[in-house]
């Protein structure tokens, strides 16, 4: 296998600790570049909702779902932005391993809260469009799809013993 591969005999087998941490940091930053704009747009939109003309028409349930959506998107944005702040404050302190590990945990937490926010936003819209069981069925499908694609699928791969494969 060539040295540029990503398997056990490829590039990763030849990386020293410093090169591995550099690669991990670049991969993490690239992932955050994908997630951050979405959560920022959702959060910004949610900030405008109470000022719309129909705000007074919302039921107590809709206001509660809105608040959960707003709170989850705010926590998600905070978690997804936190690695940047930690990197800036600790970068020259030779704590790259800590920065990467804490950024990993914050990114996963941010994605969990983003999933909650997206599902709750969908619930809010479904509740406005439909009534009865369809609201909950459609919302459950959305949350299940997010959970399955973002979390269950990757975790099942690990559980099946494929953790030693390409990263």
Q: Is residue 88 scored above 90 in pLDDT? A: no
Query: Which helix (H) or strand (E) segment is 29 a member of?
Result: helix 17-48
Closest CA to 73 of 36, 114, 41: 114
Q: Given the structure tokens 């990503």, which residue do they identify? A: 6
- The values of phi and psi at residue 3, to 5°, are -70, -20
pLDDT in tens, 3-12: 444 544 455 5
The mean pLDDT of 81-107, rounded to a whole number, is 84
Kindly give, in sequence order, each residue whose CB lies less than 8 Å from that of residue 61, ignoring residues fewer than 6 positions away. Answer: 127
133-147 and 96-129 helices cross at what angle (nearest 10)? Answer: 160
pLDDT in tens, 95-134: 888 888 998 999 999 999 999 999 999 999 999 899 999 9
């Amino acid at each position: 296998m060539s040295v540029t591969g990503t398997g056990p005999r490829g590039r990763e087998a030849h990386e020293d600790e410093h090169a591995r941490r550099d690669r991990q940091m670049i991969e993490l930053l690239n992932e955050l570049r994908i997630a951050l704009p979405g959560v920022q747009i959702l959060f910004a939109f949610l900030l405008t909702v109470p000022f719309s003309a129909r705000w007074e028409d919302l039921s107590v349930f809709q206001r509660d779902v809105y608040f959960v959506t707003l709170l989850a998107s705010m926590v998600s944005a905070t978690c997804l932005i936190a690695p940047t702040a930690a990197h800036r404050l600790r970068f020259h302190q030779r704590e790259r391993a800590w920065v990467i590990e804490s950024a990993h945990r914050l990114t996963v937490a941010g994605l969990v809260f983003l999933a909650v926010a997206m599902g709750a936003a969908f619930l809010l819209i479904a509740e406005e469009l439909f009534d009865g069981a369809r609201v909950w069925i459609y919302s459950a499908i959305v949350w299940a799809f997010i959970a399955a694609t973002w979390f269950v699928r990757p975790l099942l791969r690990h559980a099946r013993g494929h953790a030693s494969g390409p990263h």
